[in-house]
Amino acid sequence: MNTKLHAVTDAKGRPIRFFMSAGQVSDYTGAAALLDGLPKADWILGDRGYDADWLREAFKDKGIEVCIPGRKSRKKTVKYDKRRYKRRNRIEIMFGRLKDWRRVATRYDRCPETFLSAIALAATVLFWL
């Protein structure tokens, strides 16, 4: 059983929203699911998996600047702010802290809804209490 966890965080790296998708599904699915509920932001940081022209346009329509490096297979290179992109480590730190909870790291729960609930509980305790 494979899943991907997509997250929206604030500037401090605290999670705001989660979405879980199947492991074999593209990252675009998670981005599309989280797109409507984005909070007001000036910038969005993402990894190469979220590089798509339609997603860049959607962020631009919302008035959000995009800092996502282009995929290596992209014919036309995309410019992005490398200094700003280094701040994406806060997101990776957030995922690492979630995995400090053994239940999340080893995925005790086989039901996706229960697993997402465990992630939400861990995120609430770790970041918001």
Using CA of residue 92, residue 94, residue 95, residue 100, what is the dihedral sign? positive
Please enumerate, as own/partner, the contacts of 79-86 that have beta carbons within 8 Å and a separation of 24 or more. Answer: 84/43, 84/45, 85/45
Per the structure block, which two tokens stand in for 90?
A: 């806060």
Write the class of the CATH domain 3-128: alpha beta
Q: Which helix (H) or strand (E) holds 118?
A: helix 112-123
Do 84 and 67 contact (CB within 8 A), yes or no? yes
pLDDT one-digit tens code per residue, 13-31: 999 999 999 889 888 889 9
Domain boundaries, the chain: 3-128
pLDDT one-digit tens code per residue, 40-67: 999 999 999 899 999 999 999 999 999 9
pLDDT at 1 over 80: no
